[in-house]
């Protein structure tokens, strides 16, 4: 029944022209009913931590990107002074999500990352899960599905009209954008499916052109087990010219291996950290030792490891750095739980004190996903999603005042009965009222309500504007 419903939705959007590409813009009116969500057309896992940033605050406006109907990319904006919402507008058409005969109806790997260049043009990278063989040979990995795409607004800071460019590799997934102080743009992603190198492409002309992909994490065949080395990094701005990377290791087992009858499973272990000095072009570990690129599993274990986690499974590393240059690194950790990748895991947090990695006391944290912001040498804020035993989904902020060694719950930012939440990474350069994007999870539904969450909770919107599907 659910599959038939999705097919009907797909037919509606493809053949009847149902879309959300409508100029929805107005200030709050006194007679409008206000709701906590800004749109109801989030699709599948509409946002995630790995594809980031999903939002950016720039010149008084927060811009938000997420996965909408048929896995296409949508962008919304909110003006914090005038309280005016605009959008959602369809910013990019994915090559995924259009085939009703595909066994896996929603791929979810092509969610958009967003960036604003120094000329105020808005960019999104989206749509890929490794590319397909018809796109040609992938010299740095293998193929799977979709096509990595890059779309740019046709006018500065205008989300209404977009152009898709052919200037990045089509063999990408898990797009992550970074802009440096000098305007250089870095696009990080995995160059193919699981058995592929992780790479970056650099632009020095506001995204008009990009350099060829440069590998920084190496996939390769193992000799001791029927598997290949694979990786899941999370990339962010560090201090100065540095880019910081936290990552975990994926043992990509053969689908027909004899050592585990389950074949290929989402098994990940360990936690690592390294730094890319974009000024010198050198990669180094936390102790300032040089690393050979692309990094292999052997050198990562020797020079870049934060902690070994050989038995439990990890999921989705993340990192931030304090003003003194001491990094904080986190990852979800839990038992071998198969496809349930986040719900049964608890965040582990580590901080470098200049000599060693110190593990925080996070035993009081509920199981669920979270992202953190290091505000000073002593203060860290953790934004956490979890679902209680009585099926109440919650987004809460936990604060640490001892450099992340322990956390205390401060406030609940969003709470809904009979639902859970998917969270984005923190918005780039966030306004206090808009820290992150949240997609509501309700069992049996493909479409998700989307929330913009800040220190005061959700930014509200007129229900007439927020009910995009009805439009």
Question: Is 399 domain-assigned?
Answer: no
The reported pLDDT for the residue numbered 104 is 86
The reported pLDDT for the residue numbered 18 is 43
Helix (H, G, I), strand (E, B) or coil at 70: helix
The reported pLDDT for the residue numbered 263 is 67
Q: Are residues 198 and 253 in the same domain?
A: no
- For residue 184, the domain's CATH number is 2.120.10
Report DSSP state, residue 73: E
- Domain end residue (candidates: 328, 344, 368): 368
Q: Are residues 363 and 451 in the same domain?
A: no
The parent domain of residue 86 ranges over 1-217+416-471
Question: Is 407 domain-assigned?
Answer: no
Question: Is 312 domain-assigned?
Answer: yes
The reported pLDDT for the residue numbered 81 is 98
Show which residues are catalytic.
109, 174
Peptide bond before residue 368 is cis, with ω within 30 degrees of 0? no
The reported pLDDT for the residue numbered 444 is 85
Q: Are residues 123 and 185 in the same domain?
A: yes
Q: Are residues 242 and 357 in the same domain?
A: yes
Question: Is 400 domain-assigned?
Answer: no
Question: Are the beta carbons of 144 and 206 closer than 8 angstroms?
Answer: no
- Domain end residue (candidates: 303, 336, 368): 368
- The rounded distance, in Å, linking the Cα atoms of 197 and 139 is 10
Q: Are residues 239 and 349 in the same domain?
A: yes
Q: Are residues 233 and 266 in the same domain?
A: yes
Question: Are the beta carbons of 236 and 178 closer than 8 angstroms?
Answer: yes
- The rounded distance, in Å, linking the Cα atoms of 97 and 87 is 22
Q: Are residues 180 and 270 in the same domain?
A: no
Question: Is 409 domain-assigned?
Answer: no
Question: Is 396 domain-assigned?
Answer: no
Q: Are residues 200 and 232 in the same domain?
A: no
Beta strands in 310-367 (DSSP E): 313-321, 327-334, 346-352, 357-359
Q: Are residues 167 and 235 in the same domain?
A: no
At 4, which helix (H) or strand (E)?
A: helix 2-15
- Domain end residue (candidates: 368, 392, 427): 368
Q: Are residues 53 and 191 in the same domain?
A: yes
Give the total number of structural domains in the chain: 2
Q: Are residues 198 and 183 in the same domain?
A: yes
Question: Are the beta carbons of 284 and 243 closer than 8 angstroms?
Answer: no
Low-confidence residues in the chain, pLDDT < 50? 1-20, 22-28, 30, 339, 341-342
Which residues partner with 416 through β-bridges? 393
pLDDT 10s digits, 124-133: 999 999 999 9
- The rounded distance, in Å, linking the Cα atoms of 461 and 38 is 6
Q: Are residues 301 and 152 in the same domain?
A: no
Total length of the chain: 471
Instruction: Dig out the tokens for 184 from the structure.
Output: 């250089």
């Amino acid at each position: 029944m659910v599959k038939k419903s999705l097919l009907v939705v797909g037919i509606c959007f493809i053949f009847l022209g149902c879309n959300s590409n409508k100029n929805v813009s107005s200030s709050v009116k006194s007679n409008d009913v206000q709701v906590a969500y800004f749109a109801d057309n989030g699709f599948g896992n509409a946002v995630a931590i790995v594809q980031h940033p999903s939002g950016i605050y720039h010149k008084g406006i927060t811009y938000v990107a997420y996965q909408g109907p048929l896995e296409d990319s949508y962008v919304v904006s909110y003006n914090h002074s005038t309280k005016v919402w605009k959008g959602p507008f369809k910013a990019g058409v994915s090559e995924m999500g259009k085939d009703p005969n595909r066994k896996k109806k929603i791929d979810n790997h092509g969610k958009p990352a967003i960036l604003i260049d120094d000329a105020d043009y808005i960019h999104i990278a989206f749509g890929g899960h490794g590319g397909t063989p018809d796109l040609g040979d992938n010299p740095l990995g293998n193929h799977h599905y979709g096509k990595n795409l890059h779309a740019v607004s046709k006018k500065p800071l205008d989300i209404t009209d977009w152009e898709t460019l052919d200037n990045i590799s089509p063999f990408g997934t898990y797009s992550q954008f970074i802009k440096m102080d000098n305007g250089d743009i870095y696009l990080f992603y995995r160059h193919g499916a699981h058995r592929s190198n992780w790479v970056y492409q650099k632009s020095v002309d506001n995204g008009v052109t990009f350099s060829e992909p440069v590998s920084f994490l190496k996939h390769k065949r193992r000799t001791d087990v029927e598997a290949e080395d694979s990786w899941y990094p999370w990339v962010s701005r560090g201090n100065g010219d540095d880019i910081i990377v936290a990552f975990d290791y994926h043992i990509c087992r053969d689908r027909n291996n004899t050592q585990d009858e389950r074949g290929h499973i989402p098994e990940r272990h360990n936690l690592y950290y390294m730094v890319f000095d974009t000024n010198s072009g050198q990669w180094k570990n936390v102790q300032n030792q040089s690393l050979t690129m692309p990094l292999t599993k052997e050198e990562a274990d020797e020079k870049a490891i934060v902690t070994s986690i050989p038995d439990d499974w990890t999921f989705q590393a993340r990192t931030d750095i304090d003003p003194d240059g001491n990094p904080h690194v986190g990852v979800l950790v839990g038992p071998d739980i198969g496809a349930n990748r986040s719900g049964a895991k608890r965040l582990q947090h580590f901080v470098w004190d200049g000599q060693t990695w110190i593990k925080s006391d996070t035993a009081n944290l509920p199981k669920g996903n979270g992202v953190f912001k290091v505000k000073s040498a002593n203060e860290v804020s953790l934004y956490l999603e979890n679902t209680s035993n009585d099926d109440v989904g919650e987004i809460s902020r936990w604060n640490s005042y001892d450099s992340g060694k322990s956390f205390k719950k401060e406030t609940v930012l969003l709470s809904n009965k009979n639902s859970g939440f998917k969270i984005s990474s923190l918005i780039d350069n966030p306004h206090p009222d808009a820290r992150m994007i949240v997609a509501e999870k309700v069992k049996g539904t493909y479409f998700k309500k989307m929330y913009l969450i800040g220190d005061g909770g959700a930014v509200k919107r007129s229900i007439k504007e927020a009910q995009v599907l009805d439009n």
